[in-house]
A and B are shown apart, each in its own frame.
Chain A
Amino acid sequence: MTILVDKTTKVIVQGITGREGHFHTKAMLDYGTAILAGTTPGKSGQEVEGIPVFDSVVEAKKQFPEINASIIFVPARFAADATYEALDAGLKVVSLITEHIPVHDEMRFVELARRQGSYIVGPNTPGIITPGQCKLGIMPAHVFKPGRVGLISRSGTLTYEVAASLTEAGFGQSTALGIGGDPIVGMSFVDALKLFEADEGTDATVLIGEIGGSAEEAAATFIKKHISKPVIAYIAGRTAPKGKRMGHAGAIVSGQTGTADGKIKALRNAGATVIDRPIDVDEALQKIL
C-alpha cells in the first residue's frame, strides 16, 4: 500500500522533448515507471526513448485512455497552461516540477484542481516516488527503498538527505513526496498526512518543513486532532533572518509569521517529535517504532 502513485499508475510526460523532460523520462523509465505518452505542442509523431509524442494531452488520452497522472517539465511561462491542460483532461495526479511559475497563475490552477478533486503536487517540487513501484519525479532513485515510512517535504535535496539516512538505517519509505517550495502549492502537508494516516502501508510519517508561511502550523493543528500515527518533524531555516527569501520563493519570515520557532513549538504541542538535525531521524524512529 502507498499513496498517490503505485505500479498501476499510467503516466504522461508534458514537455517530453525538452532537455529536462527527455533526461528524466529516461530515468523514470529505467526505474520502471509506466510512461505511455508525452506531449510537446507541434511535435506529434516524434518519439522520445520509444515513447510517442502528441500535440496535446487530450490527443494522447484518445489513444491511451488509461493515462491517469502527469509530470510537467514545461518552462515557467507556459507551465500554467500545461497544468490547465492536464486538469482539463481529468488527470487526478499532476506532478508539477517547474520552478518560477508566477504566483497568480498558481492560485488559479490550484483552486481549479481543488474544485475538481485532482491533486497537484508542487509546483517547484522533486515530485513523488513510491519506491520500487513508480517514480513521478526527478529525485535520485537510489536513496529510496521500499518500506513503511511516509516522507513529505518542502525541499528537494533535504528530502534526499533524510531519505538517505532513513534507507541507511533500514527504514524504507512507503511513498515520499515534495509538496514544493513555492508560497502557493497544490497538495499541502495536511492533504498528505491525511493520505498517510489512511494508508495501511505507512507506520509513521516524517515531515520536513522550513521557514515561511504557516503550512507546518496547519499540519500541527491537524495532527493534534486527526493523526494517530507518529510524526517526526524537522524544520530548516532556524538561522534565517526576517524578511529575506532563502532560495525557495516560499521560504521567508514575514513579521511574526513563518518563524522556525513558531513551527517547532506548534508541532511539539501537537505531539510530533521534532528533531534538531536531519541525522537524528533514525534514532527518533527507533524510539517510536
Chain B
Amino acid sequence: MRLFEYEAKEAFRKVGLPLPPSGLASTAQEAAKITGDLACPVVIKAQILAGGRGKAGGIKFADTPEAARETAAEILKMTIHDHQVRRVLIEQRLEIKQEIYLGITIDRSKRKPVAICSAMGGVDIEQVAEKYPEKIARALIDPILGLRDFEARQLAKNAGFEGKTILQVAGLLLRLWQVFIENDAELTEINPLIVTPDGKFIAADARLNVDDNSLFRHQALLERVGAGISEKTKLEQQAHELGMTYVELEGNIGIIGNGAGLVMATMDAVKYYGGAPANFLDVGGGATADRMCNALEIVLSHPDVEAVFINILGGITRCDEMARGIIDAQKTLPRDVPIVIRMIGTREKEGAEILAAAKIPFLNSMDAAAKRVVEQVTKRE
C-alpha cells in the first residue's frame, strides 16, 4: 500500500532524516495559521494516494498566510485522478543548489533489496535510468546482513560524490535503510533530496510503499485501511474485505474465476475472441456459495457490465458450492444480464445437477465459454 507523503515523512522523522519545517492542514484556516508559524514562502502540497499531483495542479506556492489560505482552499476542493484531496502539507520553500535521488526497493529477480543513488534527482528516476544509465548507481543488499556502512559509502562514491559528501550521503542511505526495514517497505524514496546553498541536505519529497502482507505488524496502517482510506476503489475495498481480489478494468464483460492465473487467462481468452473484460475477480481458493454470491453482486455493481463469464476449475474449490452461490445470487441480483458459466473439477456432477435443476446452462471448455460470452455482448450491440 502507498502511504501519504506526510505519513512517509513521519517515518523519515523517526529515524532522523532531515525534513523541511512543515505542518498538515485539513482546512484553509489551518493552512493560514501554519504558514504564519513558518518562514515564507511556503509550498502547499495535496496529500493523495496517487502520483502526478504536480501536473494536476496539486502543488502550489504561497508568499503570505493570506495567499496560503486561498491556495489551500482551492487545493482542498480538488479531486486528482479520482482521489479527493482531504489534507494539504505545508512546508517552508527551500533554496536549491542540487537535487539528489536516493531509493531502496526490491530486485525481484535477484530476490534482494537494492539501494539506488543518483546525483540527478528531482526528475523521474526511470527516465534517468533510460537516458543516462551511467548516472545511476545501484547496490544489492544482503537481506540477512542488511546495508552495511562501507557499502553505503561505496554506493555514494559510485554515484559520483566525493570527499566528505560521501559520508553525508552514506549516512542518509543508512537511515533510509532503517525506514525500509522498520516499515516492511516495498519501496522508499527521497526524490528530490535537496542540497541547500549552505550545504544542508533536506528530504523535500518522500515516498513509502508498505507490503500489504505485513500490515499485521503495522497496526496504525491497518486501522487507516480499515477506515476505508486507501488507493483502492470502493468496490475493490469491498471485495478485499470479503476475502476476494477485484480490479476494475475498462471493458463490459464481467469476469469471475477461482485463482489469479486462471482469471488472467480468462480475461485473455475473452480478449482473444474480441471482447473486453470489465474487471478481474478472483474468489480465492476454497470459496463458499456465499462468496460466489457476493462476487456476482460486486461485478454487477459496475454499471458497464453487460454479461458475466464465470470460470470455475474445481480443485479445493467445489463446483456444487459455486453452483449454489450462482443460484442464490440470481434470486437477488438487481440486474438481469447474460451469465456464461464454465465449470469443471471437484464435485462437477453435483454442481451440474444443481444448475440443471435451475435450468442454467454451463460449458466444460473455457475457450467455448469465452466465445459464447463475447457473442452475447455483440448480439446486444
Query: CB-CB < 8 A to A212: which residues of B?
Result: 108
Interface string of A86-115 (1 = CB under 8 A from B): 000000000000001111101110111000
Contact B313 A157 (CB under 8 A): yes
Stretch at the interface among A9-17, A59-67, A198-206, A239-247: A239-247
Judge whether A158 is part of the interface by a CB distance below 8 angstroms.
yes
Contacts of B263 in A (CB 8 A): 246-247
Chain A 112-134: CB-based contact to B (< 8 A → 1; otherwise 0)? 10000000000000100000000
Total cross-chain contacts (CB, 8 A):
161
What is the number of residues of chain B that contact chain A, defined by CB distance less than 8 Å? 52
Q: State whether A277 and B367 are in contact (beta carbons under 8 Å apart), knowing that A157-B257, A244-B247 are contacts in the complex.
A: yes
**Assembled-state Cα–Cα distance A267/B144 (Å):** 33
Flag if B111 contacts A107 (CB, 8 Å): yes
Whether the Cβ atoms of A250 and B108 lie closer than 8 Å is yes
Taking a contact as CB atoms under 8 Å apart, the answer to whether A138 and B315 are in contact is yes
A232 near B: Cβ within 8 Å? no
Q: Complex Cα distance A194/B277, Å? A: 37
**B residues with CB within 8 A of A:** 106, 108-109, 111-113, 126, 142-144, 181, 184, 186, 211-214, 216-217, 245, 247, 249-250, 257-265, 267-272, 277, 280, 282, 285, 313-316, 344-346, 365-367
Docked Cα-Cα span, A247 to B260, in Å, equals 5
**Chain B: CB-nearest residue to A276:** B272
Q: A103-B213, A161-B262, A184-B106 are in contact. Are A277 and B280 (CB under 8 A)?
A: no
- Which of A30-38, A41-49, A148-156, A169-177 lies at the binding interface? A148-156
Partner of A278, one of B217, B265, B346: B265
Report chain A residues within 8 Å CB of B108: 183-184, 212-215, 250
Residues of A within 8 A of B261 (CB): 153-159, 181, 208, 210, 236, 247-248
Partner-B contacts on A (CB < 8 A): 76-77, 100-104, 106-108, 110-112, 126, 138-140, 143, 153-161, 164, 181, 183-184, 208, 210-215, 218, 234, 236-241, 244-251, 255-256, 276-279
Expressed in whole angstroms, the Cα–Cα distance for A154 and B285 within the complex equals 15
Which secondary structure characterizes the binding site on chain B? mixed
Q: A236-B264, A239-B271 are in contact. Are A111 and B106 (CB under 8 A)?
A: no
Residue among A102, A110, A250, A255 with the most chain B CB within 10 A? A102
A102 near B213 with CB under 8 A, answer yes
Say which residue of A111, A143, A160 sits within 8 Å of B111 (CB atoms). Answer: A111
Judging by beta carbons under 8 Å apart, are B315 and A161 in contact? Answer: no
Tell me if A239 and B268 are in contact (CB < 8 A).
yes
- Given A111-B143, A239-B271, residue A161 in contact with residue B366 (CB < 8 A): yes
B144 x A215 contact (CB < 8 A) = no
- Are B113's CB and A107's CB within 8 A? yes
A241 to B272, CA, bound (A): 16
**Which B residues are in CB contact (< 8 Å) with A108?**
143-144
Q: Are A246 and B280 in contact (CB under 8 A)?
A: yes
Tell me which residues across on chain B come within 8 A of A181, comparing CB atoms.
260-261
Tell me the smallest distance from the CB of B140 to a CB of chain A, in Å: 11
- Rounded to whole angstroms, the CA-CA distance of A164 and B6 in the bound complex is 51
A106 to B186, CA, bound (A): 12
CA distance A140 to B260 in the complex (A): 17
List 27 A-B pairs, Cβ < 8 Å.
A101-B213, A102-B213, A102-B214, A107-B106, A154-B261, A155-B259, A155-B261, A156-B285, A158-B262, A160-B313, A160-B345, A161-B265, A183-B108, A184-B111, A213-B108, A213-B109, A215-B109, A234-B265, A237-B264, A238-B268, A240-B264, A246-B247, A246-B263, A247-B245, A247-B261, A247-B263, A247-B264
- Min C-beta distance of B127 to chain A, whole Å: 10
Extra pairs beyond A111-B111, A241-B250 (11, CB < 8 Å): A102-B184, A104-B143, A111-B112, A140-B345, A153-B261, A155-B261, A157-B259, A158-B264, A237-B264, A239-B249, A247-B263
Query: How many Å lie between the Cα of A212 and that of B186 in the bound state?
Result: 14
Does A237 lie within 8 Å of B313, measured CB to CB? no
A159 closest partner in B (C-beta): B261
Say yes or no: A104 contacts B214, CB within 8 Å.
yes
Whether A103 touches B211, Cβ cut-off 8 Å, given contacts A154-B261, A161-B262, A255-B126, is yes
- Would A110 and B111 be within 8 Å (CB), given that A155-B260, A247-B263 are in contact? yes
Known: A247-B282, A249-B212, A278-B366. A104 touches B346 (CB 8 A): no
Q: Which residues of B contact A246 (CB under 8 A)?
A: 245, 247, 260, 263-264, 280
